[in-house]
């Protein structure tokens, strides 16, 4: 599956986001090693700290389904006006379940997307791995 196709799956998922407070919808799509796609959306709560991002929703769903082999991640926000990389909490969770080389695609805020990787967005994880060898 191409990065554009995976981004389209994330954009489609974003439509189902629960974002009544911010009106900022986000969808994530995980391409799994077996070729399946698992999606997630941001889910807000009036207590913002109890909200959950689309990336973590998708990862937690994959884990619940017994699937831990993520091949690529796409994050889309139809309401974004600037690049939309995963937040710090999502980067931490992503680094737990993905290799440093796992591609991450995210909205560029202009209708396209940016190609990145876990290692580019969370370089400290690779440094920690080297230190523990």
**How far apart are alpha carbons 58 and 52 in whole angstroms?**
10
pLDDT tens per residue, the chain (133 residues)?
A: 999 999 999 999 999 999 999 999 999 999 999 999 999 999 999 998 899 999 999 999 999 999 999 999 999 999 999 999 999 999 999 999 999 999 999 999 898 999 999 999 998 776 555 545 4
Question: Which residues make Cβ contacts (< 8 Å) with residue 124, sequence separation at least 6?
Answer: none
In the annotation, is 44 catalytic?
Answer: no
What does the alpha-carbon distance between residue 42 and residue 57 come to, in Å, rounded to a whole number? 7
Active-site residue identified among 5, 55, 82, 119 = 55
The CATH architecture to which 3-131 belongs is 3-Layer(aba) Sandwich (3.40)
pTM for this one?
A: 0.91
């Amino acid at each position: 599956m191409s990065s554009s196709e995976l981004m389209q799956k994330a954009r489609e998922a974003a439509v189902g986001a629960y974002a009544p407070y911010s009106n900022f919808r986000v969808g994530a799509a995980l391409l799994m090693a077996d070729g399946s796609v698992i999606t997630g959306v941001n889910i807000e709560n009036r207590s913002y700290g109890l909200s959950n991002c689309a990336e973590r929703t998708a990862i937690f769903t994959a884990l619940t389904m017994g699937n831990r082999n993520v091949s690529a991640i796409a994050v889309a926000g139809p309401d974004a006006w600037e690049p939309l990389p995963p937040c710090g909490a999502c980067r931490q969770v992503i680094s737990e379940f993905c290799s440093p080389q796992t591609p991450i695609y995210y909205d560029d805020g202009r209708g396209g997307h940016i190609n990145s990787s876990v290692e580019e967005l969370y370089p400290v994880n690779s440094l920690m791995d080297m230190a523990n060898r």
